Structure 1
Amino acid sequence: MQTKTIASWNVNSLNVRLPHLQEWLRLRQPDVVCLQETKLEDARFPDSALAELGYRSVFVGQKTYNGVAIVSREPAVDVQLGIPGFEDEQKRVIAATVGDLRIVNLYVVNGQDVGTEKYDYKLRWLDALHGWLAQEIQAHPRLVVVGDFNIAPDDRDVHDPAVWYDASILTSTAERAALARLMALGLHDSYRLHHEEGGVFSWWDYRAAGYRRNLGLRIDLCLVSDALKAACTGASIDREPREWDRPSDHAPALVQIAR
């Protein structure tokens, strides 16, 4: 069976992590990789370097913060930047059609701390996202929504529920409810379609030997629509790049879709 592999990776500065991305593309050869936190203005995006490896890129970025890109073997068309109707200077959203799939790539707001202005912005942002995705899934039934969601779906996705609980950022009741509302549109966590166990993470803090001690969270998600659920043949998290020199604090999350 032929499959299409789609990956999501918060690279935490593409300027720093470009050699990692190039090596990972050579090793894994995904069909599509969606990047978050590129932290590059558009003029500095390494389009030609990725083209040398057989990939085309669509992207939107800004200096120092945020930035998202879709890097694919097939050309991406019908590109959308940002959430329609939601005014936001932060470059956090890019969507495009690649082959027969509509792909939405998100760098969801972190939110800082529960009760702060940034937390309120996160909830407003997620509400606007819900309204847009409700339209996208109707227009594009074969929808894949990936990215750094900055929300751990449930207690299996945190290293210690006593530390990450209902009043903590990334695991608060309101954040998890917002994610559940998105998934109620007809989206499925591809990782959970294939794995029930806990303790598998995609992000580890640089501090306190977080990776070595496996003090992580699973916040990088690949969601597939109802129309793709049966075609989702596998999902995984690739920890290897987290062990390389000067790594991102995130590891790639991958999903396989039968062609």
Structure 2
Amino acid sequence: MKIATFNINGIGARLPRLLEWLEETKPDVACLQELKAPDERFPEMEIRAAGYSAIWHGQKSWNGVAILAREGLDLVETQRGLPNDPDPSHSRYIEAAVGGVIVGGLYLPNGNPQPGPKFDYKLAWFEALLERAQTLFASEQPVVLAGDWNVIPTDHKDDIWDARRMADDALSQPESRAAFRRLIHAGWTDAIRAIHPRGPVYTFWDYTMNAWARDAGFRIDHLLLSPAAADRLADAGVDRDTRGKEKASDHAPVWAVLR
């Protein structure tokens, strides 16, 4: 089973790129973030025509998450929004059982500018996610938490092109990284680093400063696997070419294959 995550950065504007990517790479499950569309504007017909069923949690102009499943796979929603979400008006989490795996699709708050209320909200939302992750971990089922985490795990070149430029950004703060590491220390596996332990693996390149052409990116899109899922991990990677296409999202899709 190939499970992917893709911050689409506006499903209306990027629908042609999304459909193209689905056709080219054929993930079995795809978690989408930043739909930037209310529920009624989700392109269900186009997604179905591409061979996928879908559940989604939309929001006008901002946020929004979805999970797509290839035709033939049962897709059963198990959670919409986080329990104890500090602001349930934001559509940032959706979860489903699909193909014997629990998949949580998430869009963690950016948190900028920091310090301030937006960064406080980021950390509060992270705490709610940690609580949900603990519940899922205790189930001993195969679980994948996939999405745009808005956390650069380290200052190493493996994770970021220029750590100094991002030193004051909410994505690089010690508190953000500490929350992410709590999951790793609790037994969740970072799929990309399990397969590619060393070397730059970026998932985001800003539209400005010629970042894509210079490969001045960083890694904020992650798939974390519970032990039962990590035991089945066969491969993982980033579809970099998708980022280089016309009118692309500023994120590239990230994926993991489970036996």
Q: Hey, what does 1:183 align to over in structure 2?
A: 184
Shift of 1:140: 5.0
1:92 and 1:108 in contact (8 A); partners too: yes
Assess, with a 3 A threshold, how the Cα gap between structure 1 residues 98 and 240 changes in structure 2: closer, same or farther. same
Partner Cα distance (1:131, 1:139) in 2: 13
**1:72 paired residue number:** 69
1:183-202 matches, cutoff 5 A: 183-202=184-203
Number of the residue aligned with 2:14? 17
Output one character per residue of 1:158-196: Cα deviation in whole Å (capped at 9) or x when no partner: 10222233x432011110001011223321100000112
CA RMSD in angstroms, aligned pairs only? 1.2
Q: C-alpha offsets along residues 231-252 of structure 1, whole Å, 9 cap, x if unaligned?
A: 1011101111111111100000
Q: Distance in 1 between matches of 2:55 and 2:186?
A: 26
Where 1:222 maps in the other structure, the secondary structure is strand
**Pick from 138, 162, 165: which aligns with 2:164?**
162
- Residue number in structure 2 paired with 1:27: 24
Q: For 2:48, which of 51, 55, 59 is the aligned residue?
A: 51
**AA paired with 2:178?**
A
Q: Is the 8 A contact 1:102 1:140 kept in 2?
A: no
Instruction: State the shift of 1:133 in Å.
Output: 1.2
1:253 aligned to 2:250?
no
Partner of 2:150: 150
Stretch deviating more after TM superposition (178-187 or 218-227) = 178-187
Rounded Cα–Cα distance in structure 1 between residues aligned with 2:113 and 2:84: 26
- Specify the alignment match of 1:236 in structure 2: 237
Separation in 1, partners of 2:178, 2:258:
27
Aligned partner letter, 1:132: R
CA contact (8 A) 1:147 1:220 kept: yes
Q: What are the ranges of 5 or more consecutive residues in structure 2 without an aligned counterpart? A: none
* Amino acid aligned to 1:210: A
1:97 maps to amino acid: A
Alpha-carbon contact 1:159-1:215 (below 8 Å) kept: yes
* Distance in 1 separating the partners of 2:111 and 2:178: 15
* Residue number in structure 2 paired with 1:136: 136
Q: How far does residue 48 in structure 1 lie from its aligned partner after superposition?
A: 1.2
SS in structure 1 opposite 2:138?
Answer: helix
1:83 aligns with 2:82: yes
| Worse-superposed segment, 199-208 or 153-162 | 153-162
SS at 1:22 equivalent: helix
1:54-110 deviations in Å (ceiling 9; x for gaps): 100000101110000000011311431110132421000000000100000000000
1:53: Cα distance to partner? 1.7
| 1:104 paired residue number | 104
C-alpha distance in 1 between matches for 2:49 and 2:201: 33
Deviation at 1:30, TM superposition (A): 0.7
Matched residue, 1:220: 221
**After the TM superposition, which parts of structure 1 deviate over 6 Å for at least 4 consecutive aligned residues?**
none
Equivalent pairs counted in the alignment come to 254
Q: Distance in 1 between matches of 2:15 and 2:62?
A: 16
Partner of 2:212: 211
Give 2:9's aligned amino acid.
Answer: N
Deviates more, 1:4-13 or 1:77-86: 77-86
